[in-house]
Structure 1
């Protein structure tokens, strides 16, 4: 690239980031809606030809848009699964509002995700389904399988799932503060707001990624002529700006049973008057932890090796990247996605 080309690209990118429409417009992978009800839109990603490979259901977390699996063409696990001959589906919970404040883990573990699994299986002629869940989507996938062993689940891949809150940053301080206050401040706020508002979720995500925010002006200035790099940055910014909130009941369960009591770290989760044991999961499981993940550190993911003792094939890998980076970062194709491909291929040979 000549100096003239470099200057022209820098000027064009500077305009696009400030006064223009952005560096790159979103380009979602083609998909077809096969089920459409509130908080449970099911999409089947389209192939150029007939879809013949195993079905894979992508399960998003709460407080993150379902676009996490399809950020942009070269950062899309959904496209990768299509390219490797598989048949990916996505269940999308949509927006979470004050009206959804009574939704809890049970709504996802007993209703939304199981029904999506059954519909995907039916759409594929009754075949068992592979689940892929990122962050709390991985936790929900595991709890769904543990709660109902009759579901047509072939395997589970959990990317960055927090499976032991003793290894989550600042948990000791949070537990001490909760012990001193009885958790009144948190519970009162959540009840009044009906959950965690999307604005607070977005602020919290940025705080956890404070180093990225601090470096952002210098990053933009030093890459002003690099359109591809700025497009990836813009994609992450767009993702952060779309983060939804948590329903009130769901967050209270997350706070008390997971963060404070660490049920998940002990492998038995109390939901209402029943208990769900991770050891009841018998299907193959792959856990993926991130070296640089500050939201769900690798040690928190690795905790699943102590609790998922019933799995016929339990694997854990650690890859470079942040919480979002291990799923959809520029390097995910050569790390996480390759582990996903290998694991699913091995599962196919066992089936």
Structure 2
């Protein structure tokens, strides 16, 4: 009995030690292939083992983290769950911007990466329409794209996506100072050109976990479970893999979204053309978290009323900000909602007989 207890304790403390020393990188767990590249960006294709739906999924992840969270481990992979359900999945991976990308704007992300990526996905899948699925700030970009897209978007699914930037409960005084233009971030962005990943990491930590201790306590408690320890290690690595942010894009976000809240007023433009959320006609599913410190409900819920979609639905979950994206606790009603709006292969085949 004592030997068994000693073995568990040894495993537990070894897991904690590895958390500070393990330098392994995160790799994709679902089979994929690169279809298209531009600058640092890659369009990835994840085939379904058995294709069950004609409408493919096109994923747009955030600009501040790498999208590896969507395919972290086989048993907790959102992409893996979608391909196993019979969907062809495409992911636009923006890559890691460098100093030479400092002038990239939101217009560039939408018009030079998201839109061409969608066109390549449509052509490759030989589909008449596509489902766009956006996450966090990537969801904001996906909504902006859907508002001005000429491509046939069947469904728009937004995970913890901010559209109303008037609500920042944790930094209300700083937010108000930026809105009143008493604080000007332009000198900083102009001087740096591109915001370093470390700055992004510190900003996220200020909002969520200024004192980053509880995850390590959790690991110490459950570290004897090797599967849990491995998953914890991968997730912890991902949380530290923030990426640099182009200064021009940040200035546009501050001016157009935070100061003037143009998505809410309908004045946001892409390439000089209006991108009003009221112009979205795709079937809309908004998935928001009731326990999200990064994107509170107040930032995400207005999408339901702003959208011009006739078919729209809201799912609220208790997961944190990253719990949904990591495949943990995916709602079954997400799959029910999506399957009935994705043109099942077998139904159309039967109709042709």
* TM-score for the superposition, normalised by structure 1: 0.89
1:127 and 2:128 are equivalent in the alignment: yes
Q: 1-side partners of 2:26 and 2:196: how far apart?
A: 27
Q: Distance in 1 between matches of 2:301 and 2:170?
A: 18
Query: Residue 67 of structure 1: CA displacement?
Result: 1.0
CA, structure 1 residues 189+123, in 2 after alignment: closer, same or farther (shift >3 Å)? same
* Preserved CA contact (<8 Å) 1:196 1:246: yes
Instruction: Give the Å deviation of 1:206.
Output: 2.3
Q: 1:265 to 1:6 in 2, by over 3 A?
A: farther
Q: Give the Cα separation in 2 of the matches to 1:253 and 1:88.
A: 30
Q: Which residue of 1 aligns with 2:295?
A: 296
Please report how far the alpha carbon of residue 26 of structure 1 lies from its aligned counterpart in structure 2 after TM superposition: 4.7
1:89 corresponding residue in structure 2: 90
Distance 1:268 1:4, change over 3 A: farther
Contact 1:23–1:230, Cα closer than 8 Å, also in 2: no
In structure 1, C-alpha distance between the alignment counterparts of 2:223 and 2:312, rounded to whole Å: 44
Structure 1 CA distance, aligned partners of 2:216 and 2:162? 31
Match of 1:194 in 2: 193
- The aligned counterpart of 1:64 is 65
- Which is worse superposed, 151-160 or 221-230? 221-230
Corresponding position of 1:313: 311
Q: CA 1:3–1:263 in structure 2 vs 1: closer, same or farther (change >3 Å)?
A: farther
1:233 to partner: Cα distance = 2.3
| Alpha-carbon distance between aligned partners in 2 of 1:129 and 1:172, rounded to the nearest angstrom | 38
Q: Does the aligned pair in 2 maintain the 1:131–1:155 contact within 8 Å?
A: yes
- Partner of 2:351 in structure 1? none
Contact in 2 for aligned 1:23/1:234 (Cα 8 Å): no
Q: 1:31 to 1:6 in 2, by over 3 A?
A: farther
Alignment match, 1:146:
147
- Which residue number corresponds to residue 219 of structure 2? 220
- Which residue number in structure 2 is paired with residue 343 of structure 1? 337
Change (3 A) 1:199 1:211: closer
CA distance in 1, matches of 2:179, 2:334: 41
1:282 deviation in Å?
Answer: 0.6
SS across alignment from 2:72: coil
Change (3 A) 1:180 1:283: closer
- Over residues 240-277 of structure 1, what are the superposed CA-to-partner deviations in whole Å (9 max), with x where a residue is unaligned? 22110211111111111111221223344245744321
Segments of structure 2 that go 5 or more residues without pairing to the other structure are 349-353
Aligned length: 343
Deviates most, 71-80 or 39-48: 39-48
1:1-351 map, 5 Å: 4-5=3-4, 7-18=6-17, 21=22, 26=27, 28-48=29-49, 53-148=54-149, 150-170=150-170, 172-178=172-178, 182-184=182-184, 186-210=185-209, 213-271=212-270, 273-308=272-307, 310-328=308-326, 330=328, 332-333=329-330, 335=331, 338-348=332-342
How far, CA to CA, are the matches of 1:242 and 1:51 in structure 2?
34
| Greater mean deviation of Cα atoms: 284-293 or 193-202 | 193-202
- What TM-score, normalized by structure 2, do the two folds share? 0.88
Secondary structure class of the residue paired with 1:340: helix
Provide the C-alpha distance between the structure 2 equivalents of 1:97 and 1:266, rounded to a whole number of angstroms: 33
CA RMSD of aligned residues (A): 2.6
Runs (5+) with no aligned partner, structure 1 = none
Task: Describe the superposition over 1:79-100 as per-residue Cα deviations: whole angstroms up to 9, x where unpaired.
Answer: 0111101111111111111111
